[in-house]
Structure 1
Amino acid sequence: MPHIKPWLTFTEWGKKYGDILHIEVLGQHIVVLNSLKTAMDMLDNKSTIYSDRPILPVGGELIGWKNVTALLPYGDRLRRHRKNFHNVIGTRAAMGIYNQSRRSRLADSSSVCSKKPDQLEAHVRHTAGAVILRISHGYEVKENDDPFVDVADRALDQWSRVTRSWRLLVKAPEWFPGAGFKRVAREWHDTLEEMVSAPYKFVVDQMVAIIYSFANSPLSAEDEHVVKWCAATLYAGASDTTVSTINSFFLAMTLFPDVQKKAQAEIDAVVGPDRLPSITDQDSLPYIGALAKEALRWHAVTPTGFPHCVSEDDIHDGYYIPKGSVVIPNIWFMLHDPEIYVNPWQFNPERFLANDGKKPETEPRTICFGFGRRCFSFTGIHLVEASVWLSIAMSLAVFDISKTVENGIEIIPDVDQSSGTISHPKPFKCSIKPRSSKAVALIEQDANY
């Protein structure tokens, strides 16, 4: 079973063996889907039996990630999580509550980024954490070394590391050779517990409810568990996916300057030089919308998604899928399938615009957020899309992004990404400069709003 960028191995296997692959690891049936049509036929159209989650012995059971919404078994607790998410961020109207706060945070980050462009990745992560913690817990992060952001970063890094490989010696005693990971799992469990409980304790200590209706009355033990993990899921999921997509956007702008110029021309023509773009400009900036979609497609944030589990035996297209099988959609390949996207390695927003009678290519949100009843659409799709769109629009309005020049040599970044459930672009260098003094003034103005 591949554990380093498994989506690449799955793609090669798909070319050799077909769209539905079967792997057996110590009796566990694993089915990999390399076709968008097959994934939709199975995970969408048969969602009643393909919506469970497998038990993850280390990451889920020993460390505790089984309690986040994405890994809950299909049932009542999951439905309660989804209801909470819908109330808070489930519609564009609900998301409108947070627009000014998010915009101010992005402007503040842009102000810092213009002064320290070499710390882009840290700025993006800090801003995403600030926006989500404000929504999930009503918490305003510190400018530097915020304890909640720091512990979440550690917990997410540990989750990414544990999902890179399959740990099979779960029932072995700790002294058994190779079972030392149990000691590590205990330490990582404590990190996760701190990430979940510390922000919640902050809310309780402030004697206010979890911000914007996660809870507004005394809680039972079950209610408290649901609220804590809903809030933690919102922070862990939405912040990390947003960070990944925004970093890939900066990478794309570094490599595709013509796209950047076209996007900036649209902003200049529609928004003008006297203000920054806002969410209300979305319908007037179609190219920016297409660019945001292309950022989600070009870099697959969850290359193999979250695994599904079959709750009963199924026969699909002549294949027997036993109950308990783990089903993995190869999202990375679907987003780069040349039969779906023309020249998939090219960063080309125009593929999502109707031009000269040509229909837009397949909407990436039907793939990148997962499939069936467990797709991200039921939790944070509006939050992620709005955050990505606004980050892109504001960044392009005020910055010129280009390749770094060192000793007279232009540095061309590699297009590569990390392994893990949530994948990030590998670190890269780029030049970020304000487009004008007016742009700097607008950033400062919005940051202090």
Structure 2
Amino acid sequence: MLTITNVTWLNLLCLTGVGVYLVKQVVIKKNPKPYPPGPRGWPLIGNVLDMPRIKPWLTFTEWGQKYGDITHIEVLGRHIIVLNSVKTTMEMLDSKSTLYSDRPVLPMGGELVGWKDSLPFLPYGDRFRRYRRNFHRVIGSRAAVDVYNETEEVETRRFLKRVLAKPDQLQEHVRHTAGAVILRISHGYEVKESNDPFIDLANRAITNVSEATAPGAFMVDILPFLAKVPAWFPGAGFKRLAREWRETLEEMVSAPHKFVKDQMADGVAPMSFTSNLMEGCDMSAEEDYAVKWSAFSLYSGGSDTTVSAIYSLFLAMTLFPDVQKKAQAEIDAVVGPDRLPTFADRDSLPYIDALVKEVLRWNVVTPTGFPHCVTEDDIHDGYYIPKGSLVIPNVWFMLNNPRTYANPSQFNPERFLAKDGKEPEMEPRTVCFGFGRRICPGIHLADASIWISTVMSLAVFDISKVVENGVEITPEVEFLPGTVSHPKAFKCSIKRRSATAVGLIEQDANY
């Protein structure tokens, strides 16, 4: 694997080559305004050595504290703008969305692996708008998502059963259930209880893209011409890796789509995102392609992020038992012991809603979001933002800014409840689902999945620290690098709250 950390002779040769290229391309041009401030770069290579490789959001935060809300670096001629405040991000990515809604070309993840046709990576244009229309038509509002409430509830009840039976396999259960929910909604596919081929495919594809798109992970993203290097060339292992990942992706995109088309041909297809879009239509090849990738985009955009959030919930409940007790007291008072909570209870459970918000804030699932790309030169706050610049919102700092959130490292749902005349702190969903025309189109579906998992789990389980050899084990709060950040694997004790709770869990999940 050729990474930015492996400084080999090939890397040096490439850097020399690009340096010569840049020298030849130098054109003296006076900028209309100065670039935003940032770390000083080197001649020719710019800030290539400053670009963070591990947990870039922490370095971006340091830059923000030193240089202000807008930081500029230049890497081999490519301008990168890092945003460290909600106000500035909204002004640029929301209010000026006509300029800031494009996506950069990602040589590794987008071009070589093939994710360029999925919604998060699509350039702004006609195909992007078609995908968005597909999403809006099927899951574009809370009312539209309500159609899938029963699916969410059924799959979450199955999740409770799995956890009760094998609590030590929590992470696997969370991932299996998130995939089951999305595949039923996207393709009407009901997964097998274990060893499901689509779940396995999807998990591999999602893991691959998180690695492929992590900032600084592959030198080809810094030096795009490396994509032309043959796979046999020394140091070009990334080409062979990309080929493997591409095969997995192509199978995951095509196989569920074929499953729906076959079921529709037989007249037995259940309602789903895909069947809804294809029903009664004589589709062209282009329209069929758009539906196929739209449905896959729904899966890829929703499953891994949901896994991270729900796993974070269990970590938080392990570490903050007082929060868990308050949440359970609210559920007991409103729902009672005789049934499981449902979506119908949501408006009556304000503390649970605040708890879900705090989960989204405390572990920022996409800490640096997805980079935007500028389509035209812009002047913002007196700074020059050139066409083609990458714009990276530091979402992690926005949700951990001590000026916005009191004691941000503390898990405290009450920050989102009006109390004693004090206004709630900033709604985290304002920033954690993206910005402008690139805001996550599955926001309502993701929010519903996290909420129902939270309320049902807390209704029947007590979550606590594991005791080993008489010693209580406190999990480490460590969020791993990647485009989607997950909590580091941890141990926790998950036990039934009562015999009544077991009865509720054991009820037929297909009620």
2:284 to 207, 217, 220: 220
Aligned residues: 447
1:304 to 368, 376, 395: 368
| Matched AA of 1:10 | F
1:8 to 58, 77, 94: 58
1:172 to 220, 229, 232: 229
Match of 1:56 in 2: 106
| Matched AA of 1:409 | V
Match of 2:160 in 1: 110
**Residues in 2 aligned to 1:101 and 1:14: alpha-carbon distance in whole angstroms:** 43
| Matched AA of 2:291 | V
1:177 Cα deviation from its structure 2 partner: 2.8
**Residues in 2 aligned to 1:256 and 1:211: alpha-carbon distance in whole angstroms:** 38
Helix, strand or coil at the partner of 2:228: coil
Helix, strand or coil at the partner of 1:206: helix
Helix, strand or coil at the partner of 1:207: helix
Match of 1:184 in 2: 241
| Matched AA of 2:483 | T
Match of 1:432 in 2: 494
Helix, strand or coil at the partner of 1:447: coil
| Structure 2 residue 87 is matched with structure 1 residue 23 | no
| Structure 2 residue 149 is matched with structure 1 residue 149 | no
Match of 1:407 in 2: 469
Match of 2:147 in 1: 97
Contact 1:170–1:179 (CA under 8 A) maintained in structure 2: no
Gaps of 5+ in 2: 1-50, 221-225
Distance 1:419 1:126, change over 3 A: same
| Matched AA of 2:497 | R
Contact 1:63–1:189 (CA under 8 A) maintained in structure 2: yes
Contact 2:108–2:213 (CA under 8 A) maintained in structure 1: no
Match of 2:507 in 1: 445
What aligned pairs does 1:304-323 form with structure 2 within 5 A after superposition? 304-323=368-387
2:354 to 290, 299, 307: 290
TM superposition score normalised by structure 2: 0.86
| Superposed CA offset, 1:157-195 (max 9, x none) | 111111231432222232333222111111111110011
What aligned pairs does 1:325-404 form with structure 2 within 5 A after superposition? 325-376=389-440, 379-404=441-466
1:247 to 273, 292, 311: 311
More divergent stretch after superposition (196-205 vs 333-342):
196-205
| Superposed CA offset, 1:243-295 (max 9, x none) | 11000000000000000000000000000011111111111000000000000
Match of 2:5 in 1: none
Match of 1:259 in 2: 323
**Residues in 1 aligned to 2:344 and 2:474: alpha-carbon distance in whole angstroms:** 35
1:203 to 260, 266, 287: 260
Match of 1:423 in 2: 485
Identity among equivalent pairs (%)? 70
1:297 Cα deviation from its structure 2 partner: 0.5
Match of 1:75 in 2: 125
**Residues in 1 aligned to 2:256 and 2:227: alpha-carbon distance in whole angstroms:** 30
Contact 1:111–1:444 (CA under 8 A) maintained in structure 2: yes
More divergent stretch after superposition (173-182 vs 324-333):
173-182
Structure of higher RCO (CA pairs closer than 8 Å, 6+ residues apart) = 1
Following TM superposition, the consecutive aligned residue runs of length 4 or more in structure 1 with deviations greater than 3 angstroms are none
Helix, strand or coil at the partner of 2:232: coil
Match of 2:297 in 1: 233
| Superposed CA offset, 1:116-140 (max 9, x none) | 1000000011111111100000000
TM superposition score normalised by structure 1: 0.98
What aligned pairs does 1:119-158 form with structure 2 within 5 A after superposition? 119-158=169-208
Helix, strand or coil at the partner of 1:136: helix
Bigger Cα Rg: 2
Contact 2:139–2:445 (CA under 8 A) maintained in structure 1: yes
Helix, strand or coil at the partner of 1:24: strand
| Matched AA of 1:215 | M
Contact 1:298–1:344 (CA under 8 A) maintained in structure 2: yes
1:51 Cα deviation from its structure 2 partner: 0.4
**Residues in 1 aligned to 2:381 and 2:141: alpha-carbon distance in whole angstroms:** 36
1:446 Cα deviation from its structure 2 partner: 4.9
C-alpha RMSD over aligned residues: 1.2
